[in-house]
């Protein structure tokens, strides 16, 4: 029988107690660490063996779950992290997966399905709620429409700087432009590409739209 250690990082005490009580009754789970913040989790983990799987909320007091992902993966690279959250928009999903989350589950997921997700991620899977999975597939499905042909040559240079991971100041140095001018070009790129952030822009780049 599988025997897993689990951490639950959740600030909603009702949800936290429900998850703790449920997983402690599961024969496949041998230990459950419960924390109400990233700071609390790190303090407890400093005195315990790191769990194999962590259920991590995004909207936490102090450091958010997404912000903590790189730190957690650096300190505990073998620990698999499933985001368990009420956020089901593409932006949050993309950020979490980009920062190292292995799975993404909605808080309304039935407990039995949540248990299966924990077991699946321990087996090397990448579990997602059905609604989340559909959004991910839809978001990354190739699309025949493109707006990149609307960009001017200078806007394409600015766009390339963003794709290369440069800040506005670094792009201004590369192109010998003022930072204010670069920011104006960035706004134009956002408008023409119909995005609101660098994350969305990079997502379109990964999808091959630009």
Query: Which residues are CB-neighbours of 153 under 8 A, at least 6 positions away?
Result: none
What pLDDT score was predicted for residue 14?
A: 95
Tell me how far apart the alpha carbons of residues 7 and 29 are, in angstroms, rounded to a whole number.
Answer: 10
The model's confidence at residue 74, banded by pLDDT at 50, 70 and 90, is: very high
CB 44 within 8 A of CB 18: no
What span, in angstroms and rounded, lies between the C-alpha atoms of 29 and 21? 11
Cβ neighbours of 60 (radius 10 Å): 24
Split at pLDDT 50, 70, 90, the class of 29 is very high
pLDDT computed for residue 145 by the predictor: 45
Name the nearest CA neighbour of 162 among 185, 146, 142. Answer: 185
Average pLDDT, the chain: 86
Beta strands in the chain (DSSP E): 4-9, 29-35, 53-56, 80-85, 103-106
- Domains of the chain plus CATH, in order, are 4-140 (3.40.50.2300), 148-206 (1.10.10.10)
Asked whether the predicted pLDDT for residue 130 surpasses 80, the reply is no
**Is the pLDDT assigned to residue 41 strictly greater than 80?**
yes
Q: What is the pLDDT of residues 143-199, one digit of tens each?
A: 444 555 678 889 989 988 887 778 888 899 999 999 899 999 998 888 888 888 777
What average pLDDT does this structure show over 3-32? 95
Give dist(CA 152, CA 158) in Å, integer.
10
pTM of the model: 0.66
């Amino acid at each position: 029988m599988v025997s897993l250690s689990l951490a639950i990082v959740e600030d909603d005490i009702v949800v936290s107690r429900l998850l703790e009580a449920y997983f402690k009754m599961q024969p496949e789970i041998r230990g459950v660490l419960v924390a109400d913040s990233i700071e609390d989790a790190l303090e407890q983990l400093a005195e315990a063996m790191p769990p194999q799987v962590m259920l991590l909320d995004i909207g936490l007091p102090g450091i958010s779950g997404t912000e903590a992902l790189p730190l957690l993966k650096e300190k505990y690279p073998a620990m698999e992290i499933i985001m368990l959250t009420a956020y089901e928009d593409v932006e949050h999903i993309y950020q979490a997966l980009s920062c190292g989350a292995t799975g993404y589950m909605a808080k309304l997921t039935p407990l039995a399905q949540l248990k299966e997700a924990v077991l699946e991620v321990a087996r090397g899977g990448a579990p997602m709620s059905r609604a989340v999975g559909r959004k991910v597939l839809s978001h990354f499905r190739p699309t025949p429409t493109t707006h990149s042909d609307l960009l001017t040559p200078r806007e394409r240079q600015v766009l390339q700087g963003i794709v290369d991971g440069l800040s506005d100041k670094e792009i201004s140095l590369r192109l010998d432009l003022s930072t204010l001018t670069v920011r104006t070009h960035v706004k134009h790129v956002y408008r023409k590409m119909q995005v609101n952030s660098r994350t969305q822009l990079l997502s379109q780049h990964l999808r091959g739209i630009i």
